[in-house]
């Protein structure tokens, strides 16, 4: 009997957040035959290149999310919420809850709680509550309840305050190369003048890999209530 396939739902405040911070791990799981779904709560269109229309750039970002996901054999979802205007309210929690119930992931990856970017912090809070709503059978929505057993917070240079790596997930060069190819389809990753995203995350994956005594790795935090290491002896 073949091993059951895993579904991973990676949720970012903007298109590109999940693709950068969890992309190597997502690429590795895609190569193993697992299902990958990305959800961006906004497109991130306010990072529009100079001289380009913001509406056109939003459409470009949505297409970039689709391209990345498809290169990993997966799917992408981008909400129609303006960048920078993500609301920390129940409606957003219900929308994300509905996606979780539809996708039915085993694992959810999202932002850490602290960030220099308000959309990232808001996304963190939304996802935590939406995961709870999605798993509550008595909370009636269109789709049946589903609880994602594992929740991880990805390492992001914008979400660095108090972030301490808790879980290291390593992956081979084959996954790294697929990630580089896929994430390079995002303009801001290779074209931004404000930050060298691709170089930063390529080197970070190598550094974390060295720390894990492997070639490449990405790190994650977990909810504080799950930070337990169980053992019977030293």
Residue 4 pLDDT level (bands cut at 50, 70, 90): low
Average pLDDT over residues 11-37: 98
Answer whether 112's CB lies under 8 Å from 163's CB.
Answer: yes
Q: Does 233 map to a domain?
A: no
C-alpha 82/C-alpha 102 separation (Å) is 23
- Tens of pLDDT, residues 114-123: 999 999 999 9
Q: What percent of the chain has a predicted confidence (pLDDT) above 70?
A: 98
Domain residues for 179?
A: 7-224
Q: Is residue 230 part of a domain?
A: no
Q: Which of 152, 153, 106, 129 is nearest to 8 (CA)?
A: 106
Residue 181 belongs to some domain of the structure:
yes
Span 45-62, pLDDT tens digits: 999 998 999 999 999 999
Burial of 102 (0-12, 13-18, 19+ CB in 10 A): middle
User: What DSSP character marks residue 116?
Assistant: S
Number of domains in the chain: 1
pLDDT band at 209, cuts 50/70/90?
very high
Q: What is the mean pLDDT of the chain?
A: 95
Q: Is residue 85 part of a domain?
A: yes
pLDDT, mean of residues 68-96: 97
* Closest-CA residue to 196 (of 178, 184, 208): 184
**Arithmetic mean of pLDDT, 157-184:** 97
Amino acid 3: pLDDT:
60
Measured in whole angstroms, how far is the alpha carbon of residue 99 from the centre of its chain? 14
pLDDT in tens, 137-166: 999 999 999 999 999 999 999 999 999 999
Query: What confidence score (pLDDT) does residue 2 get?
Result: 54
Quote the pLDDT of residue 1: 42
Quickly tell me which residue has 């219900």 as its tokens. 94
Q: What is the CATH number of the domain that holds 135?
A: 3.40.50.10320
């Amino acid at each position: 009997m073949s091993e059951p396939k895993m579904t991973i739902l990676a949720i970012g405040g903007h298109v590109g957040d999940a693709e950068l911070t969890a992309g190597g791990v997502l690429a590795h799981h895609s190569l193993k035959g697992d299902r990958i779904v990305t959800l961006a709560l906004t497109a991130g269109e306010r990072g529009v290149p100079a001289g380009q229309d913001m509406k056109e750039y939003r459409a470009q970002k949505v297409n970039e999310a689709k391209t990345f996901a498809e290169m990993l054999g997966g799917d992408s979802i981008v909400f129609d919420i303006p960048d920078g205007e993500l609301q920390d309210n129940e409606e957003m929690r219900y929308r994300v809850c509905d996606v979780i119930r539809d996708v039915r992931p085993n694992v959810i990856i999202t932002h850490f709680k602290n960030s220099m970017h308000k959309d990232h912090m808001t996304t963190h809070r939304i996802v935590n509550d939406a995961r709870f709503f999605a798993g509550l059978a008595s909370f009636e929505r269109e789709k049946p309840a589903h609880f994602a057993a594992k929740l991880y917070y990805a390492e992001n240079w914008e979400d660095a305050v108090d972030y301490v790596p808790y879980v290291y997930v390593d992956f081979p060069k084959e996954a790294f190369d697929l990630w580089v190819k896929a994430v390079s389809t995002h303009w801001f990753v290779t074209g931004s003048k404000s930050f060298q995203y691709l170089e930063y995350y390529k080197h970070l994956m190598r550094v974390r890999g060295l720390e894990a005594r492997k070639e490449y790795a990405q790190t994650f935090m977990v909810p504080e209530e799950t930070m337990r290491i169980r053992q019977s002896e030293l």
